[in-house]
Amino acid sequence: MRALHETWAWVAIAATGLVGAWGLVLARRKQEPGRPFWVAMGAATVIMLAQVGLGVYLIAAEGLQPGDQHVFYGFLIAFTFAFAYIYRAQMSRRPALSYGLLLLFVMGLGIRCVYTWGVDF
């Protein structure tokens, strides 16, 4: 399971990064996101949240100690998606830009997660 978590992290980072960049391109062109974008955004979100869930499982069931910073960034990813859900009405004003930036921010948090594995300060 740990190997899956380590590999899936890069899949989640790539998915959120690609869809986030797509959102910014749509916003720059002043285009409304269509169904393919929303499907891709949903998939990227599910992929990243599955990664967070797998991390929670590894800590709870297998007793792994990834380090406080790693856990913090994983928690922050889930928290970010929760806030995006709460503020979805405001984000709908400029959806491509809002969700593009959201996913790029989450991608950055995912990268921080990868590079803080096992680091305790």
Written as one letter, the residue type at 119 is: V
Note down the domain range covering 22.
2-115
Q: Please indicate, yes or no, if residue 121 is contained in any of the structural domains.
A: no
Tally of structural domains, the chain: 1
| C-alpha radius of gyration, the chain, whole number | 15
Q: Please indicate, yes or no, if residue 97 is contained in any of the structural domains.
A: yes
For residue 118, the model assigns a pLDDT of: 66
Q: Please indicate, yes or no, if residue 100 is contained in any of the structural domains.
A: yes
For residue 117, the model assigns a pLDDT of: 80
pLDDT in tens, the chain (121 residues): 888 998 999 999 999 999 999 999 999 999 999 999 999 999 999 999 999 999 999 999 988 888 889 999 999 999 999 999 999 999 999 999 999 999 999 999 999 999 988 654 4
Q: Please indicate, yes or no, if residue 99 is contained in any of the structural domains.
A: yes
Helix (H, G, I), strand (E, B) or coil at 84: helix
CB atoms under 10 Å from CB of 40, counted, come to 17
Model confidence pTM above 0.95:
no
